[in-house]
Chains A and B, each alone.
Chain A
Amino acid sequence: MTDITKDAIAPPRSFLSQDAIQVFYRLLAAFLICAALAVLSDSFLSLGNILNVLRQASLTFFIASGLTLVVLTAGLDLSVGANVALSACIAGTVIHKTGSPALGILTGLACGGIVGLLNGIMVTALRIPSFIATYGMLWVLNGLAYWYMAGETLHGFPAGFRQIGSGYLFGLPIPVYLLLVFLGIGTFFAQRTIWGQEIYAIGANPVAARLSGIPVARRLLLVYAVSGTMAGLASIIFLSRLNSAEADIGESLTLPAIAAVLIGGTSLFGGVGTVFGTFIGALILTLVLNGMNLLSVSANWQPLVTGVIVILAVWLDMKTRRRAQ
């Protein structure tokens, strides 16, 4: 055997994993934003405002968490917003017709999951690029929702059902508990299950993943189905919180969810990112919008600021991440 020491090796890098470093910077950014807002605005630190921020962030997070898994596989799900709208409309109808919130919730989750599964089938069996498959699905779902609702608005749901979105438990909004639960489940799934590991491997190099014996198509189906189901869950929270459903409620949801994923450090190229990062991404996004409201900045500026933050976050990631070639 010859000298392996001669083999060129790069110096060891930080003992913190790349993911940990990314999450650290994001927490720091979120903290700095909080500190700045606390100084600039008297009302920012009020309990009511903080709970409001968390509740807002949770709505974005539910959609963005499932989307994170899709993006980890180097895919994209543009249909999540439209999926929320259709699922909300169908779940709302079921509750109205049967009077059973439980049945409505199940229908909403199932509707979201089925849509996600259809996305997965298009991406795997039909090999349509996810961007295009889910973009097409967006229009299909919008079309279905408009046809189904025919311009009507559903409203007035049982008080118990409305608790899910607007109720409190021990002083905290119920969506915040749900946020913690799904943050835990999402993180556990991604980091502590072999399916999570396989999803990272697929995103990092789909060809190598397949040739390493990972059932790539089955994992992708799972990921799109989860993304759809999370959209279904978000639809229930929306329905319960707004106490109404319309065909167009999803139109303003997809782009903020993608923003949360990107600000959270998940790479659109796949293989890099965390569900926790997405949570902080949703938090940063909500904090900035909340801060602008508190500082009486016109809402017209919000899209511009969101765009700048997304670009900044991704650019900084690319700078700090020395991509191995």
Chain B
Amino acid sequence: MSGALPIEVTSPTPLLELRGISKEFPGVKALDDVSFAVYPGEVHMLLGENGAGKSTLMKVLCGAYSADAGEFYHEGKRVAISSTADAQKLGIAVIFQEFSLVPYLDITQNIFLGREPRGRIPGTIDRRKILADAKRVLGTIGFDIDHSTIVDKLGVAQQQMVEIAKAISQNARILVMDEPTAALSDRETELLFELIARLKADGVSIVYISHRMAEVFALGDRITVLRDGRRIDGVRPADVTPDQLVRMMVGRNIDMTYPRHFADKPGELLLEVKGLSSSTGISDINIEVRRGEIVGLCGLVGSGRSEVARAIFGADPVTSGEIIFDGKTISGEPDLAARRGIALIPESRKSEGLALLRSVSDNLVVSALRKLFPSGLFDQRAAQRTSDGLIRQLRIATPSVRQTVGLLSGGNQQKVVIGKWLAAGSKLFIFDEPTRGIDIGAKSEIFALIDRLVAEGAAALMISSEQIEICHVCDRAYVMREGRIAGHLTRHELTEENIVRLGMHHA
């Protein structure tokens, strides 16, 4: 692939052009020869699944990451973006989903933080100038608010406006926005779109990352689709249908053949979740899991998948609804869920799954202490014998049961987290991104293990951003969108396209 642009060019020189950008992290090629151009006054939509490389591209654009290979051109001239200062000089500003505002300072102070106009006496701020500037900037974007309001008192939409004001005050010509409407109401979204139109008219270019089909078509002048770190295509909204876009985003080409022995008929009902809502933003969740099943829980990152897992396990307080496990209602802390036979293999094994500085053995028996030592008396040797058995069964590569678990590789650490629930004799295993950061070999071992567990009468609820994994190993799947179950896919309906379609925002 070269830097050639496949679509015709409206304005002779792009405001900013990236050619052949590559960025590699240990074990992952996050960006692979990506070319990308932004023209003055356009809204350029950036589309792709979780992990397609959008965030990396955004960070390369704003100088947070420096590219391993590739060139940058600003108005036709070759430039370097190797730091955030470089990007700022070129007029690039990023509005991340997590705002970088200081909550206890007012709007004016936030807009000009670190760039306050100096007063006549050294070390002072020119109050009159900073207030005038603030009013001018807020006027430019049509944000009608008292500029001395403390940012902490503002809503999400208003904080976003402050971020935009901050960018405009730095003479930003290219505004990169990461899912800016994710936390906005319909009315606030409308206001944002009006602002975007106004910025466009002023010649500001917008790079807009979105998961909502409706806004891709409503706002976009052009669309670039990324997949697996590669640029798949650049199109105009008028030339494609949403279905075509979905097809461009999916269809990842990874050779993965997972062993999976599907049961002839589903087993008895093990978990029944009825109308579950929690304080973390999920609502009206209805899920059923039967013995012998692997049930997928998909959706975009942030759609509430982990929150559902945590609520079922008792890790987050449930506000309404019912969880029936093995015929009995459960509500309470994780220790109750664990005792009843539910296991959670959390997304972040290092911070939530393991005591890194303790030994492999200590970690393997921690959830099974009551089961292994009903008298309450702990026996180190017996614990190590149990651990030895698990190490052999799971083929955990460790020199000894005494090895500090933090020194194992990611795949082996994950096996330890699973192993502790095997020791506990759990019946339902909730996996949250079980294969994140694990090499292919360990991945298929873990899937083989899950397959064996459910074949022996256990059940699994599996969250994964890798749709292809869900399609290969799951009996069926629920797809989440914005904290709710958006749909259910049977084994026959379970395709990447269907998952993406349900998980994205239409309307």
A4 near B405: Cβ-Cβ < 8 Å: no
User: A6 contacts the other chain (Cβ, under 8 Å)?
Assistant: yes
CA distance A5 to B29 in the complex (A): 24
User: How far, in Å, is A63 (CB) from chain B's closest CB?
Assistant: 26
A324 touches B357 (CB 8 A): yes
The answer for the CA separation of A4 and B203 in the assembled complex, in Å, is 56
Bound-state CA distance A196–B379 (Å) is 11
* CB-CB contacts below 8 Å: B53-93 with A: none
Q: Cβ of A293: which chain B residues have Cβ within 8 Å of it?
A: none
Residues of A within 8 A of B99 (CB): none
A213 to B, closest residue via Cβ: B338
Chain A residues contacting B397 (CB-CB under 8 Å) are 4-5, 7, 9
CB < 8 Å neighbour of A200 from B352, B358, B445: B358
- Residues of B within 8 Å of A215, CB to CB, are 333, 335
Cross-chain contact B354 with A208 (CB below 8 angstroms): yes
Q: Nearest-CB distance from B314 to chain A (Å)?
A: 9
Do residues B313 and A211 form an inter-chain contact, with CB atoms below 8 A? yes
Partner of B412, one of A9, A195, A214: A9
Tell me, yes or no, whether B353 is within 8 Å of chain A by CB: yes
**Are B378 and A196 in contact (CB-based, < 8 A)?**
yes
Residues of chain B contacted by A208 (CB below 8 angstroms): 351-355
Q: List 8 A-B contacts (CB under 8 A).
A: A4-B445, A9-B412, A17-B359, A197-B362, A205-B351, A211-B344, A213-B334, A324-B407
A244 nearest CB across to chain B (Å) = 41
Q: Does A272 contact B (CB under 8 A)?
A: yes
Docked pose: A233 CA to B377 CA in angstroms = 25
**Cβ-defined partner of B366 (8 Å) among A4, A6, A10, A209:** A209
Q: What chain A residues lie within 8 Å of B355 (beta carbons)?
A: 200-201, 204-205, 208-209, 271
Q: A194–B378 contact, CB under 8 A?
A: yes
Q: Is the CB of B403 within 8 A of A211?
A: no
- Asked whether B369 is an interface residue with its Cβ less than 8 Å from the other chain, the reply is yes
Closest 9 CB pairs of A and B: A324-B406, A213-B338, A2-B441, A204-B355, A12-B399, A194-B369, A10-B407, A215-B335, A205-B355
Number of residues of chain B lying within 8 A (CB) of chain A: 55
**Cβ of B351: which chain A residues have Cβ within 8 Å of it?**
205, 207-208
Nearest residue (CB) in B for A1 is B445
Contact A205 B441 (CB under 8 A): no
Complex Cα gap A5–B424 (Å)? 27
The one of B366, B379, B448 in contact with A1, judged by C-beta atoms closer than 8 angstroms, is B448
Whether, in the assembled complex, B373 has its beta carbon less than 8 Å from a beta carbon of chain A, the answer is yes
* Residue-wise interface mask of B (389-410) relative to A, using a CB-CB cutoff of 8 A (1 in contact, 0 not): 0000001011110111111110
CB distance from B179 to the nearest CB of A (A): 27
Assess whether A17 is in contact with B402, with CB atoms less than 8 Å apart: yes
Given A2-B444, A7-B409, A12-B399, also A323-B366 (CB < 8 A): no
Residues of B within 8 Å of A197, CB to CB, are 362, 365-366, 369, 378
For A174-208 the 0/1 string (1 means CB < 8 A from B) is 00000000000000000111111110110011011
Which residues of chain B have C-beta atoms less than 8 A from A15's C-beta? 400, 402
Q: Which of A12, A192, A204 contacts B403 (CB 8 A)?
A: A12
With a CB–CB cut-off of 8 A, which chain B residues contact A6? 441
Cα–Cα, bound, A292→B96 (Å): 61
Q: A1 and B407: CB pair below 8 A?
A: no
A3 within 8 A of B: yes
Flag if B366 contacts A210 (CB, 8 Å): no
Q: What residues of chain A lie closer than 8 Å to B339, measured between beta carbons? A: 213
Q: What residues of chain B lie closer than 8 Å to A9, measured between beta carbons?
A: 397-399, 407-409, 412
Residue numbers in B under 8 Å from A191 (CB-CB): 378, 380
Cβ of A5: which chain B residues have Cβ within 8 Å of it? 397
Q: Which residue of A lies closest to B374 (CB)?
A: A194
Interchain CA distance A217-B445 in the complex, whole Å: 36
Instruction: Give the Cβ gap from B129 to chain A, nearest Cβ, in Å.
Output: 43
Residue ID in chain A nearest B426 by CB atoms: A213
Residue ID in chain A nearest B339 by CB atoms: A213
Tell me the complex Cα distance, A201–B355, Å. 7
In whole angstroms, what is the CA distance A15 to B401 when docked? 10
Q: In this assembly, does A212 line the interface, its C-beta being within 8 Å of a C-beta of chain B? A: yes
Min CB–CB distance A287 → chain B (angstroms): 30
Q: CB-CB < 8 A to B356: which residues of A?
A: 204-205, 324-325
**B439: shortest Cβ distance to chain A, in Å?**
7
Query: Would you call B333 and A205 a contact (CB within 8 A)?
Result: no
The reply to whether the CB of A11 lies closer than 8 angstroms to some CB of chain B is yes
On whether A214 and B357 interact (CB within 8 A), knowing A2-B441, A197-B378, the answer reads no
B440 at the interface (CB under 8 A from A): yes
B377: chain A residues at CB < 8 Å are 192-194
Q: Is the CB of A211 within 8 A of B353?
A: yes
A8 located at the interface, meaning its Cβ lies under 8 Å from any Cβ of chain B in the complex: yes
The proximity string for B residues 323-365 relative to A, scoring 1 for CB distances below 8 Å and 0 otherwise, is 0000000000111011100001010000111111111001001
Whether B395 and A1, one on each chain, are in contact in the complex, defined by CB atoms closer than 8 angstroms, is yes
Residues in A whose Cβ lies below 8 Å from that of B313 = 211
A13 at the interface (CB under 8 A from B): yes
Measured in the bound complex, the distance between the Cα atoms of B403 and A17 in whole Å is 9
B378 and A4 contacting across the interface, CB-CB below 8 Å: no
Nearest residue (CB) in A for B313 is A211
Check B344 against A8 for contact (C-beta < 8 Å): no
Q: Are A194 and B338 in contact (CB under 8 A)?
A: no
B299 CB-CB contact with A under 8 Å: no
Task: Say yes or no: A2-B445 contact (C-beta < 8 A), given A192-B378, A208-B355.
Answer: yes
Residue B367 lies at the interface, judged by CB distance under 8 Å to chain A: yes
A194 to chain B, nearest CB (A): 4
B370 within 8 A of A: yes
* Across-interface contacts of A3 in B (CB, < 8 A): 441
Residues of chain A lying within 8 A (CB to CB) of residue B376 = 193-195
Q: Which residues of A contact B424 (CB under 8 A)?
A: 213
Candidates A4, A10, A12, A207; contact of B352 at CB < 8 Å: A207
User: Which A residue sits closest to B370, measured CB to CB?
Assistant: A194
A254 and B420 CA atoms in complex are apart in Å by: 39
Kindly state the separation between the CA atoms of A260 and B143 in the bound complex, as whole angstroms.
Answer: 60
With contact pairs A208-B353, A212-B420, A272-B357 given, residues A324 and B366 touching in the complex (Cβ less than 8 Å): no
A214 contacts across to B, CB distance below 8 A? 335, 366-367
Report whether B354 and A211 are in contact in the complex, using a CB–CB cutoff of 8 Å: no
Type the 1/0 row for A207-245, where 1 means its CB is closer than 8 Å to any CB of B: 111111111110000000000000000000000000000
Contact B362 A200 (CB under 8 A): yes
Could you give, for residues 476-506 of chain B, a 1 whenever the CB lies within 8 Å of some chain A CB and a 0 otherwise?
0000000000000000000000000000000
